[in-house]
Structure 1
Amino acid sequence: METGKHELRRSMGVWTGISVVIGTVIGSGIFFKQGQVLETAGGTNAGLAAWLIGGLITLAGGLTVSEVGSRIPETGGIYVYMKKLYGEFVGFLTGWTQVAIYAPAIIASVTAYFSQLFADFFGIPMQWVPVIGIITLILITTMNSFDNRIASAFQVTTTSIKLIPIAALIIFGMFFGKADALGQTVAHVTSTASGNFGLAILATLFAYDGWATLANLGGELKNPSKNLPRAIIFGLLIVILAYVGVTYGIYQAVPANQIVALDSQVPYTVAKQAFGQVGGKLLAIGILVSMAGTLNGKMLAFPRMVYAMADEGVLPRFLKRINKAKEPIAALWTTAGLAMILIVISGADWLSDMAVFVIWLFYAATFCGVFILRVQDRKNGVEQDATLFKVPLYPLVPIIAIGGALFVLINTLIASFSMVLISFVFVAIGIPVYYYYQVKNK
């Protein structure tokens, strides 16, 4: 194991970047959130609009971060952006939040969902789910410990496979469905929130989350100033088309009230209508592959941020160790270890909800960074490099991104005030850690 000043290998091309975006965003949400979004929206027209608007807000955020990322093409993603925009303290809290809260909780949540579906598919008792999760994380982390071209190839492969069940749901619903995708309303079933379009959009934004993890790989992308924006933009466009297409296909195949009643079983119902019991099994396999790809994408991206912080001396030095394959081996296994602990002792769903809220705080600040960077350019009399990506329709797109972030934060604050308070406590724990390393590094 080597601990010198090595650089991570720039071996990832734009297709790998696109695969990371698609792979980390498309997991279980598109398959299991249809009933919740539809009931909350109150009808199929509003449900489709919620998925589309959520996607457009996410795309606005992706375009905005792409300009920031193209000008700061370094490993560490939002942590590095926040540090350069707002200083060491805010940058550290950003990284701390991702390292200590966001990354382990999201990885634990995805692993738990995968393990539950895996156990159900093979008839394994549910008490073995934590064991399956730990084994899964060990396998994924081991793969990521080798040359990143191996994990990259796995990411491209799983992303390609996961599009198969999505395409099947879209095609069957559009051409063989017997319901009417448009104009249906949902009778009051279980939720007093029925008809709340804002909360429906909020639910889709959670399903779209994960795209920003690609920014953590800025130091390993070939020609990151061009490939980072391309990967984020094209990846998100594919995700939006997939989400809206699957939603339309499901609405066309199953009546609205039945979708709400079936909830997470909707995809299985559509698959069985199309292909019988075999279709349900094939769909389950497709979802398992989808979630494995999502987990790999997160393990590919999150440890790079841990590595970047350790390399700068604000986390324990052992976390910057890289192996002969030039992979951040210590950061990889530490991130996996924290996630394994959460799988065993914590409620991953609650933690992931908290993590998503916290990360949107930093998304909002990163979106504002575009204005800061452009003002600095004008103040210094420096023209932007013509080779760098510039967000289109400036300043409208960044304003939409900021508005979307505020929408997430305000609605979460209203709906889950206690969770918001607890999330701030976890962030605040990072303050003494920051000052400890400030004193230590003097």
Structure 2
Amino acid sequence: KQINSLGKLLSDEKVELKREVSLVGGISLIVGTMIGSGIFVSPKGVMRNAGSLGAGFLIWLGCGVLATFGALSYAEVGTMIPKSGGEFPILLEAFGPIPAYLFAWTSTVVLKPSSLALLSLTFAKYALAPAYNIECSEPSELAVKFTAVAVILIVIFINCASVKLSTQFLTVFSFGKVLSLLIIIIGGIVMLAQEGHTQYFENAFDGEAPGVREVALGFYQGLWAFDGWNQLNYVIEELKNPYVNLPRAVVAAMALVTGLYMLTNVAYFTTMSMQELLASPAVAATFGDTVLGVMVWVIPVFVCWSVFGTCLGSCFTAGRISYVAAREGHFTKVLAMLHAKRMTPAPAVLLNGFIAILMVIPNDFDTLIDYFSFSMWIFHGSTCAALLYFRYKLPDHPRPVKVPIFIPIIVCIAAVCLVMAPIIDDPKIHYLFAFMFIMSGLAFYFPFVHYKARSKKLRTFNIFLQKLLFVTLPDEVEEND
């Protein structure tokens, strides 16, 4: 309590998350998190399952529409329950503490840190590649891991330093991502206009029509490129005028990214056939070799720029999950604290970065991500089901944003298909292990959340961290404590 009082005295203002994310910042957060390395490196998962160019473009468009439907559904429940933390406060209000806790547990321990670790490793490989190419060798594993850890530490520093600084960086990197895709798109337009490379678009629907299974798997691949459409719900309490800016940012960002992805895929097919695209290990690099000539070096620069921006956005939102969960009493209290001067959830951000660094150490954790990724759509579907529940249970509740009822229904159906598709297609015991891990969170929930068991050693450790990080409880938490 003495530390909390000292923190409040030095802060000279109310201790709470500040509304420093503007409309442009919100759009940048969504765009910056969605556009990662996938659209540059290997957008072939959709085409492989589609069977033809025309069907592939329809699946890409369908992924954009589905992601937009999901984002609009989140906008409705997000403005109904204007709390940060993404799915956590929504599931808490709709279905109670257990589903909310399992979401926070899975996201904090596996989903968000593993995503940050994988992104940092991708950045490291592309950043080191030019130096090692001179010697015709691959970057050493140790060099890649040290670079990845350095990236994580830089991202943590930026996110702990200032919310405004983080959003400014996100805006700059989002602009760079859009510019990089526009260069590829312009290159494709030049190829079409000057050389008439349209032969690969002829008979676009020739080939075996995809079945239900192939369409589902194609969507599963395409939606990876759109992952991040829900990011603004994690920072609603920091968004200026959220009732207006949340839906505007969602619509603008989704329209921009969907259009860019569609046009980028068109550009790729001005220089390569379906077979060449499927055989290419890095589609953008193959495109660059043909179109950019001596400027082909910009492709790895684009990838690094894009991935670093995604790291920033991922870390920015990840910290808000454990922060809000701790504020509700689901995690240890130190995670609910803000830096007394900077008003950033420093302990929660540091936890996400620390786990990500631990995940960089093993040789290969990609398999772990593969088998846990489907769980995210469990929570996406549950959140849209919560919207339907609120429509039935609270029909007169104020809704600053209200979407047509068919939108969340479609997202719920799609979520069921996306969860079941990989299991049915390739059933493995790993999916059972992943489910068991998610449910293992109950081993911590019942003693520490439900029965409120307390440990003196944990309290002592929390006090040590509070002194070390100079953090304090938000006013609303201390008042209710």
TM-score by length of 2: 0.85
1:94 to 63, 81, 103: 103
The percent of aligned pairs where both chains have the same amino acid is 24
Runs of 4+ in 1 over 6 A off after TM superposition: 185-188, 192-195
Query: Counterparts of 1:125 and 1:198 in 2: how far apart (Å)?
Result: 36
How is 1:159-238 mapped onto 2 (pairs within 5 angstroms)?
A: 159-177=174-192, 178=197, 179-184=199-204, 196-238=214-256
- Structure 1 residues 441 and 217, CA gap change in structure 2 (3 angstroms): farther
2:26 is aligned to 17
What SS class does the counterpart of residue 222 from structure 1 fall into? coil
Asked whether the equivalents of residues 377 and 384 of structure 1 are also in contact (C-alpha less than 8 Å), the reply is no
* Matching of residue 427 in structure 1 with residue 427 in structure 2: no
Query: Counterparts of 1:291 and 1:109 in 2: how far apart (Å)?
Result: 10
How is 1:362-381 mapped onto 2 (pairs within 5 angstroms)?
A: 362-378=379-395
Query: Counterparts of 1:230 and 1:182 in 2: how far apart (Å)?
Result: 38
* Matching of residue 400 in structure 1 with residue 410 in structure 2: yes
1:308 is aligned to 324
Asked whether the equivalents of residues 170 and 309 of structure 2 are also in contact (C-alpha less than 8 Å), the reply is yes
Q: Match for 1:433: what amino acid? A: F
What SS class does the counterpart of residue 17 from structure 2 fall into? coil
Aligned residues: CA RMSD: 2.3
How is 1:46-61 mapped onto 2 (pairs within 5 angstroms)?
A: 46-61=55-70
* Matching of residue 410 in structure 1 with residue 420 in structure 2: yes
Q: Match for 1:431: what amino acid? A: L
How is 1:239-254 mapped onto 2 (pairs within 5 angstroms)?
A: 239-254=257-272
Deviation at 1:325, TM superposition (A): 0.3
2:371 is aligned to 354
Query: Counterparts of 1:139 and 1:80 in 2: how far apart (Å)?
Result: 29
CA deviation map 1:197-243 (0-9, x unaligned): 33222210122112212211111111122222222222111111111
1:146 to 150, 161, 169: 161
2:172 is aligned to 157
Deviation at 1:11, TM superposition (A): 0.7
* Matching of residue 257 in structure 1 with residue 268 in structure 2: no
Deviation at 1:440, TM superposition (A): 2.0
Query: Counterparts of 1:195 and 1:173 in 2: how far apart (Å)?
Result: 32
Asked whether the equivalents of residues 42 and 282 of structure 2 are also in contact (C-alpha less than 8 Å), the reply is no
Aligned residues: 430
2:140 to 109, 123, 126: 126
Q: Point out the more displaced range, 121-130 or 37-46.
A: 121-130
How is 1:378-389 mapped onto 2 (pairs within 5 angstroms)?
A: 378=395, 382=396, 384-385=398-399, 388-389=400-401
What SS class does the counterpart of residue 203 from structure 2 fall into? coil
Asked whether the equivalents of residues 46 and 197 of structure 1 are also in contact (C-alpha less than 8 Å), the reply is no
Query: Counterparts of 2:57 and 2:327 in 1: how far apart (Å)?
Result: 45
Asked whether the equivalents of residues 12 and 222 of structure 1 are also in contact (C-alpha less than 8 Å), the reply is yes
Q: Match for 1:181: what amino acid? A: F
- Structure 1 residues 411 and 6, CA gap change in structure 2 (3 angstroms): same
Asked whether the equivalents of residues 213 and 421 of structure 2 are also in contact (C-alpha less than 8 Å), the reply is no
Query: Counterparts of 1:80 and 1:15 in 2: how far apart (Å)?
Result: 25
Asked whether the equivalents of residues 78 and 366 of structure 1 are also in contact (C-alpha less than 8 Å), the reply is yes
2:476 is aligned to none
How is 1:70-85 mapped onto 2 (pairs within 5 angstroms)?
A: 70-85=79-94
Deviation at 1:356, TM superposition (A): 2.2
- Structure 1 residues 25 and 416, CA gap change in structure 2 (3 angstroms): farther
Q: Point out the more displaced range, 349-358 or 244-253.
A: 349-358
What SS class does the counterpart of residue 217 from structure 1 fall into? helix
How is 1:272-351 mapped onto 2 (pairs within 5 angstroms)?
A: 272-278=289-295, 280-323=296-339, 324-345=341-362, 347-351=364-368
Asked whether the equivalents of residues 21 and 211 of structure 1 are also in contact (C-alpha less than 8 Å), the reply is yes
Q: Match for 2:140: what amino acid? A: M
CA deviation map 1:37-58 (0-9, x unaligned): 2222111111111111111111
TM-score by length of 1: 0.92
Query: Counterparts of 1:73 and 1:342 in 2: how far apart (Å)?
Result: 32
1:34 to 39, 43, 62: 43
Query: Counterparts of 2:397 and 2:350 in 1: how far apart (Å)?
Result: 43
- Structure 1 residues 352 and 234, CA gap change in structure 2 (3 angstroms): farther
Deviation at 1:265, TM superposition (A): 2.4
Deviation at 1:181, TM superposition (A): 2.9
Query: Counterparts of 1:292 and 1:165 in 2: how far apart (Å)?
Result: 14
Query: Counterparts of 2:179 and 2:108 in 1: how far apart (Å)?
Result: 33
- Structure 1 residues 96 and 153, CA gap change in structure 2 (3 angstroms): same
